A and B are shown apart, each in its own frame.
Chain A
Amino acid sequence: MINRDRIKAFLTLLPSMILIAVFVYGFIGNTFWLSLTDWGGVAALAENPVRNYAGLSNYKELFTGFLGGGFRQDLVNAVYYSVMLLLGAIGTGLIIAILLDNKPRGEAVFRTIFLYPMSLSFIVTGTIWRWMLAPQGGVNILPTYAGLDPLKFRWLSSTGAIFEFNWQNLLQIAFYILAAVLIIGGLMSIKQNPTRALRRFLLPGIAVGLAAWLFGDLLPKALFMEETHGFNLATLGIIMATIWQYSGYTMALYLAGFTGISQDLRDASMLDGATTAQYYRYIALPMLKPITISAVIILSHISLKMFDLIFAMTGPDNAETGHPALNMYLTTFRANDFAKGAAIAIILFLIAATFIIPYLISSYRQRRTR
């Protein structure tokens, strides 16, 4: 009996399993294989193109090659972009959700207004914001309404950059980041288990950080020449537009969560002496941790895949506002460098996986313990 049910279930699932195997995993595999070849160049579009196995040379070229500078800046852009979008969209959405959770007059109208940008496509958003951020219009002339001088900032074409670092020191920076992660993790868990936090996180973190600082010069250089990358100010406009579009979405997520918390809990916390701020800090937000995690994952994916908004706002090949996804498109379909394009795709895929895999593991564990 069980077997028959199982066979039926298997047969029912088989078509989708085959489709997913071919069109998702098969294509990921194929892309990975292509990234290990030298497919590209003049004869790339021949009927039977020559594809030789080339090992990791495409990756090496992207990270350390003379011509990979553009990609490296794009990658740095994507990281800054993701971080700023996460902080901006989650922060703004959270603040709006808290304001609306306190039921101001016209709450329903505001909710719709804030959610509205979500319904626009990125091309529309991009076009609107391109106009708004034009050097002599929109945002820049806002101060003139208050009798002030117009702003001069070039939102989408500024060449300024902050938080710059030398790509040569990539390894040293990686160690610094590792040290920072360990120290932050230690500080976060120090309350629950001080000895464990100290031994497992704080001391190793400090050791790694010190070692990287003292002996950083001995580490191999990632590049043969100096190459600085940083947070390009021209991406600010794109970040603003994305936050505008997505804070309504995070607001909706949080608002749904807040509404789901029983009024009794709020009453109880008020009787316990918590202020409104403390209620959100100690009760509501910790209870909505799953929502925060979902928001982080969804938004980080959106920022890693971002393509159309940047395309609409600054065009595909504005070096200042580049993004690996755009770079992949240009490399693959404009330069016909299919192998390198595939390598960029795989890099993006791996970065996305670093966000999603821990999430999948933890949700799988939760389901098992439940």
Chain B
Amino acid sequence: MAQVELLDICKRFGTTEVVHNANLSIGDNEFIVLVGPSGCGKSTILRMIAGLETISSGEIRINDRKVNEVMPKDRDVAMVFQNYALYPHMSVFENMAFSLKMAKLGKNEIRQKVDKAADILELTPYLHRKPAALSGGQRQRVAMGRAIVRSPSVFLFDEPLSNLDAQLRTQMRMELKKMHLKMKTTTIYVTHDQIEAMTLADRIVILKDGRVQQVGTPVEVYERPDNRFVASFIGNPPINMLEAVVHRTSDGDAISFCGLTFPVTLPDGCRDQDQVLAGIRPDSIKRDEALAALPEQWLIDGRVVVSEIVGSQSLLEFTMGEASVVAELEGRVAAAPGQTMKLGLNLENLLLFDPDTEQAIR
């Protein structure tokens, strides 16, 4: 039950500024994911919220209380660390009970709370084990249990799944989502994995070089990225960026790239003969039956470079003029390299970016 607000916060280490004027308003019960490449300042922001890093300038407010100078323990936040940071000499029970013990709770109360959390996390059989005798997933759950027992108003997660293997990571991701739905606690989650961000978040905050690039729901940042970085960072396989020229004539709007011209509806932000970057998501490229839904002018011939079957979908790399483009196609496509294939570009979802400012043209 808490709102968290970041007002113009900066973090400087000596003369280097690693977070520049970050602003963010996090609502009650919201699941916010901070995502970005390493070194983008996402963990630093999280640590500033936790109180583990000082704030160079700006203000952090939790529940309308300025917490810049408040000690970590008094901020009513709990954090799960990337390497779990379990106390190695304590049993699972003692690890989870430590914060309650520090808060001077009664023995029975501590036992009750720990037992309840252990029950939720299915840790009851392991309460007497030391962390060294647990598997990675179990340790991860102990780390979460340690956060849960305090029933804090804000959960902070610092890449909690990155030390798990792929299968366990997917499983734990779902558990996390379920837990958030059940407990409804404001959660701030840091990751560099965009899939985690897309699946978990109510809203995603995309960071680069210490600056907030865009804040929005997963669908928003996927479909309407504010700039080239966001468009490239979100989405897997990554978006295809093609150099293009736009035409606005009395015959209507069109865009040309790779030596081909396509009639499209252009946003108001571009003028005739502007050089732009055209972003085409791999899943906007269609084949076979799906082609019927597209206007004939959007159909192209692609020369296959390589194709990969990924379960029910296929990834296809093909060349279009000079450019190499990746498509994510429904069904299993077994195409021989060099073969020509009939493909269609769904240019309704076309994204345009200014090549100099890299901002989206709308």
- A91 and B102 alpha carbons, distance in the complex (Å): 25
Residues of chain B within 8 A (CB-CB) of A270 are 51-52, 71-73
CB contact list, B22-66 vs A, under 8 A: 47, 50-52
Give 13 A-B contacts (CB < 8 Å), ordered by A residue.
A262-B85, A264-B83, A265-B85, A268-B85, A270-B71, A271-B77, A272-B98, A272-B99, A272-B102, A272-B150, A274-B102, A278-B102, A283-B87
Interface positions, chain A 249-287, Cβ under 8 Å from B, are 262, 264-265, 267-274, 278, 282-283, 286-287
The 0/1 profile, CB within 8 Å of B marked 1, for residues 204-232 of chain A is 00000000000000000000000000000
Q: Which of A265, A271, A283, A289 meets B50, CB within 8 Å?
A: A271
Instruction: Please give the distance in Å from B1's CB to the nearest CB on chain A.
Output: 19
Q: Which A residues have a C-beta under 8 Å from some C-beta of B? A: 262, 264-265, 267-274, 278, 282-283, 286-287, 289
A265 to B83 CA separation, bound complex (whole angstroms): 10
From residue B73, how far is it (CB to closest CB) to chain A in Å? 4
B97's nearest neighbour on chain A, judged by CB, is A272
Contact A287 B81 (CB under 8 A): no
CB neighbours of A282 from chain B (8 A): 98
Which 7 residue pairs are nearest across A and B when measured between Cβ atoms? A272-B99, A273-B102, A264-B85, A273-B73, A268-B85, A286-B89, A270-B72
Chain B residues near A (Cβ < 8 Å): 47, 50-52, 71-73, 77-79, 81-83, 85, 87-89, 98-99, 102-103, 146, 150
Chain B residues in 8 Å Cβ range of A268: 79, 81, 85, 87, 146
Min Cβ gap A262→B in Å is 7
A interface majority secondary structure? helix
- With a cutoff of 8 Å between Cβ atoms, the chain B residues found around residue A267 in the complex are 47, 50, 52, 72, 79, 81, 85
A273 and B81 contact, Cβ closer than 8 Å, known pairs A265-B87, A267-B52, A286-B89: no
Q: A267-B47, A268-B81 are in contact. List 6 more A-B contacts (CB 8 A).
A: A262-B83, A264-B81, A267-B52, A267-B85, A270-B71, A283-B87
Partner of B99, one of A265, A273, A289: A273
* A287 vs B88: C-alpha distance when bound (angstroms): 8
Task: State in angstroms the CA–CA spacing of A262 and B85 once bound together.
Answer: 8
Q: Is the CB of B87 within 8 A of A271?
A: no
**Docked-complex contact B103 and A273, CB < 8 angstroms:** yes
Say which residue of B51, B52, B83, B89 sits within 8 Å of A287 (CB atoms): B89
Residue of B nearest to A264 (CB): B85
Bound-complex Cα distance A278 to B103 (A): 12
Closest B residue to A287 using CB positions? B89
Residues of B within 8 A of A271 (CB): 50-52, 72-73, 77-79, 99
Which A residues lie within 8 Å of B50 (CB)?
A: 267, 271
Give the residues in chain A near B83, CB-CB below 8 Å. 262, 264
Q: Considering only CB atoms, which chain A residue lies closest to B156 in the complex?
A: A271
Query: Chain A contacts of B72 at CB under 8 A?
Result: 267, 270-271
Distance of A269 Cα from B73 Cα, bound (Å):
9
Min Cβ gap A261→B in Å is 9
Most-contacted residue by chain A among B47, B50, B73 (CB, 10 A):
B73
Chain A residue numbers with a CB within 8 Å of B87 are: 265, 268-269, 283, 287
Task: Give chain B nearest CB distance to A109 CB in angstroms.
Answer: 21
Cβ of A102 to closest chain B Cβ, rounded Å: 15
What CA separation (Å) do A171 and B358 show in the bound complex?
89
A270 to chain B: closest residue by CB? B72
Looking at A267, A269, A271, the one whose CB has the most chain B CB atoms below 10 A away is: A271
Residues of A within 8 A of B71 (CB): 270
Nearest CB in chain B: distance from A311 CB, A: 42
Query: Which chain A residues lie closer than 8 Å to B85 at the CB level?
Result: 262, 264-265, 267-268
**CB pair A269 B81 closer than 8 Å:** no
